[in-house]
Structure 1
Amino acid sequence: MAGGVIVLGAGPAGRALAHRLLAAAVPVTIVDTHPERVWQSTFACWSDELPDWLDPAAFAARLDRVGVAGTALDEVDRGYTVFDTPGLQRSLTLDGAEIVTDRVTGIDGARVHLKSGQVLTGDVVVDCRGALPHEAPRQTAYGIVVDKATAAPFLDGQDALLMDWRGGIVDRRALPSFLYVVPLGDDEYLLEETCLVGRPALGLDELKRRLDVRLGGLPTGVRRIERVAFPMTGSSPQPWREPTFRFGAAGGFKNPTTGYSVAYSLKCVDDVVDALAAGRDPMPELWPASARAVHNLRLRGLSVLLQLNPTQTIAFFEAFFAMPIESQRSYLSRRDDLTGTMVAMTRVIRSVDMRTRAVVARGAMSTPGWTGDAHREG
């Protein structure tokens, strides 16, 4: 390329894209209001989602399997990785990039207008500023970081618990929540009470109260607190139609069933780099017809989750994790596997009771009402 790429946002997606562009000798300018701010969130993914170029320093724990519990404890025999968040950030080096500390006020083709009055011009602009729809369903969580001895009684003999719904129904009319327990390295564990999705989602005060009840009182020696609240959908229901190329959570890479997006971004970043370095539009390669269809199916899956009552929600996930790993992988990790996604959805529908099946069918046929484009700034 004769010029360079302007990357908006220095979160995981933006920083990974800039890092790999630099490795491919593509000039990069990064714009962020706080480019050196240390990431605080806990990121995790299925191990088979990860690209092979990641530095091992980015990982806090790599597990062969994780526990799940609806009404009873079971295991998912699939590798799970918890990132060392500061290690991941440090590993995505930005040597050679031009870093601009400013706020974006507008994008006009390949020109970026900044609050300071400066205007940047590049060959391509990639928006990696995250998902900001105001009306979207959200995931919320309240977690505490403790030592291994404190966490051990709640692991039920597992190395980690992906979802433990037992005790998560406090009111048949209220949203359920589950316990998430994962190792963070250095003898630390995260114990987190999570509202998978709601519109509105459970508030952090309520989740803290539920965690207190679940643990029989919050333990002494809490090392730090983690608070989570984010939208479960991207900034546009059809990111492939946007005039500015969006990548990461901003570009529809967030799985609306789980809220995960970091591994998707890391896995796909080299496809974007290859296209940009060759002067091609990466959109057709990232969003073939099969990927667009899977994206739409997952949005309808989110519609289903919002319509299930607490008991049905637990039954839904028991059926999901009872499927063969290959079907789980198709739905959770393969963004263009239309056949596998449809097979997985069909398996779940056939496994639940008739009343839950009717709710699932209604949700799958309804048009999501939160997918209007977001107002964006910054």
Structure 2
Amino acid sequence: NIFRRARLCHRHKLCLRALKEVRPHQDASASEVVSSNGSLEFQQADISNQWLREGGKEAKYLLRQAAKREPEQQDILDILPKFDSREQSKPADVLVVGCGPAGLALAAELSERNLDVVLVGMDSKFTNNYGVWVDEFKALGLEETLDNVWQEAICYFGLGKEHEVRIGRAYGRVDRAKLRAKLLERCSRAGVRFLAGEVTDIDAEMGAEAGAVACRGGSAAEGRLIVLASGAVAGKFLEFEEDAPTVAAQTAYGIQARVKHYDGNFDLGSMLFMDYRRHHTGLYDGMALEARPGTHPHGSDGLWGTDGETPSFLYAMPLADGSVFLEETALVARPPLPFSVLKRRLERRLRALGIEVEEVMDEEWSYIPVGGPLPTREQPVAAFGAAANMIHPATGYSVARSLKEAPAFADGIAKALARGGASVGDVSSAAWDALWPMERQRQVSFQVFGMELLVQLGPQAMNEFFMTFFGLPAYFWNGFLASSLSSAELLAFALLFFVRTSNGIRLQLMGHLLTSPSAKYMLRKYTRELSESAAGPRSGAAVEPRR
């Protein structure tokens, strides 16, 4: 199950072949396996997870999103020098595969530590809208890359003024062209070279001195460490832990448009962060704001009979050019809520609000795999960003976190490479230890537990959940969103949430804790160090690849 020469592509082909035989299911069992020629076995959960990471049934829309033209963004070879393998006399220190925010930030950080770094991948542009908390981007020195800033973010978790929540935290939209240009400028100043091409094979063994990547068309490069930072699709080149909850996804369909009557519904000076009011069905055109608690044409303020429905919310940014970015988002679901459903809900919601779309300037399909297993330590490649499952399981945020953690991760890699005689396995294991120490694994197991609860909640329960969440002291909910709470603080957060929430949510939480595999997963992470201490210290010997 661990890579050897040419096994990586072989495994990927096998997975694709197996997908024709196995229908991925949200309750895929880790004990069910698929065999090929009796030589290799892959768990059904592995196949289903990677299928979902790559978009599942919605994959065609991800290709359409990635293929958008971005004329304001320069080609990478106009900024970085070209890498030529024929001139490579010795392996580079690090090959960073992937040209998104995580890959560019890491390549710059590594090269600024006097390491020889080659950036490898397709010359992809940034095509998605990135929304971030202003204080987080300001701390990163990236405030200048924000093209719109709102001092207030507003949420609605039901009908009536009592269900309006003002977060009181500034929110911004990233100018993706500026962010990409800034990251590439750092790479250029630090001396990063670029090899353009789609990586099709990786040759890496734990005991070797260096590994290599091969690209479609025949180009290749060697490096002492290979770091995959090309998004969730890189999962086909990675080994993941067993006995973890399966992958879910956040999906969103959005438009940037010129519209009429937005200001009759929402504050133009604020960002609409979450509007969970069920305006997408059961209301006549233009009648959404006429609905009052107890007067909705459907029972329970429009929520009667919706327990089995996957909730979604409106996310909206009124932009400086007079247009509005409007997006219907399913926070987390398994199976993912299709883009076709989200588009229909958005269109129906806007009609109910009386918002008239005059011109659609852009469409967006956002698909973020969340949760699922973490990569294992004992493998001869490392990963970063979404490829390393650094996406917040319960929110879908990843860009700010990747940019924030790139310096510490680069430090860990630089220290490992500085040790004389370090093998590929030594360096990759040190990289994984720097990225996923046990404390961080405990934190993410708690977040996965929370994510799995959200998967189960219907519209009414989702509203109750978030009314409690944003009613907590800002230190807790800010820290949860930013992944800055310690594992002990997360337990305090959970206890306070339990005390303050409704009886219905308490019952669901108790049932979730007693029956969900994510609860067992969290318990194992929280008690792992205790069990390892009882079993004795981990051997310092190098771990050989599993055959």
TM over 0.5: yes
CA gap of 1:242–1:295, structure 2 versus 1, over 3 A, is farther
Match of 1:126 in 2: 227
Amino acid aligned to 1:220:
E
Counterparts of 1:206-355 in structure 2, within 5 Å, are 206-216=341-351, 219-233=357-371, 236-238=373-375, 240=377, 242-279=379-416, 281-335=430-484, 337-355=486-504
CA gap of 1:19–1:315, structure 2 versus 1, over 3 A, is same
Match of 2:132 in 1: 45
Match of 1:113 in 2: 213
CA gap of 1:184–1:88, structure 2 versus 1, over 3 A, is farther
> Is structure 2 residue 505 aligned with structure 1 residue 367?
no
Superposed CA deviations along residues 86-111 of structure 1, whole A, max 9, x for unmatched, are: 21111111323221222222241441
Deviation at 1:345? 2.3
CA gap of 1:149–1:143, structure 2 versus 1, over 3 A, is same
Amino acid aligned to 1:177:
S
Match of 1:100 in 2: 195
Q: TM-score, normalised by structure 2?
A: 0.62
Superposed CA deviations along residues 324-355 of structure 1, whole A, max 9, x for unmatched, are: 11001221113561122222222222333223
Amino acid aligned to 1:246:
A
Question: SS of the residue aligned with 1:278?
Answer: helix
Q: Size of the alignment, in residue pairs?
A: 367
> Distance in 2 between the 1:319 and 1:25 partners?
48
Deviation at 1:53? 4.7
Match of 1:68 in 2: 155
CA gap of 1:120–1:91, structure 2 versus 1, over 3 A, is same
Deviation at 1:43? 0.9
> Distance in 1 between the 2:139 and 2:447 partners?
27
Superposed CA deviations along residues 281-314 of structure 1, whole A, max 9, x for unmatched, are: 3433333322110111111111111111221111
Match of 1:375 in 2: none
More displaced stretch, 284-293 vs 148-157: 148-157
Q: Which ranges of structure 1 fall in alignment gaps of 5 or more residues?
A: 372-378
Counterparts of 1:84-99 in structure 2, within 5 Å, are 84-93=175-184, 94-95=187-188, 96-99=191-194
Question: SS of the residue aligned with 1:219?
Answer: strand
Contact 1:303 1:364 in 2 (8 A): no
Deviation at 1:368? 4.3
CA gap of 1:86–1:196, structure 2 versus 1, over 3 A, is same
> Distance in 1 between the 2:203 and 2:367 partners?
27
Larger helix fraction of residues: 2
Q: Which ranges of structure 2 fall in alignment gaps of 5 or more residues?
A: 1-90, 237-245, 282-304, 418-429, 522-547
The CA RMSD over aligned residues, in Å, is 2.7
Contact 1:84 1:184 in 2 (8 A): no
> Distance in 2 between the 1:289 and 1:168 partners?
43
> Is structure 2 residue 170 aligned with structure 1 residue 79?
yes
Question: SS of the residue aligned with 1:137?
Answer: strand
Q: TM-score, normalised by structure 1?
A: 0.87
> Is structure 2 residue 96 aligned with structure 1 residue 7?
yes
> Distance in 2 between the 1:364 and 1:31 partners?
43
Contact 2:255 2:360 in 1 (8 A): yes
Deviation at 1:24? 3.5
Match of 1:166 in 2: 277
More displaced stretch, 317-326 vs 157-166: 157-166
- Percent identical: 28
> Distance in 2 between the 1:327 and 1:269 partners?
24
Contact 1:294 1:335 in 2 (8 A): no
Amino acid aligned to 1:315:
E
Match of 2:524 in 1: none
> Distance in 2 between the 1:146 and 1:352 partners?
38
CA gap of 1:321–1:55, structure 2 versus 1, over 3 A, is closer
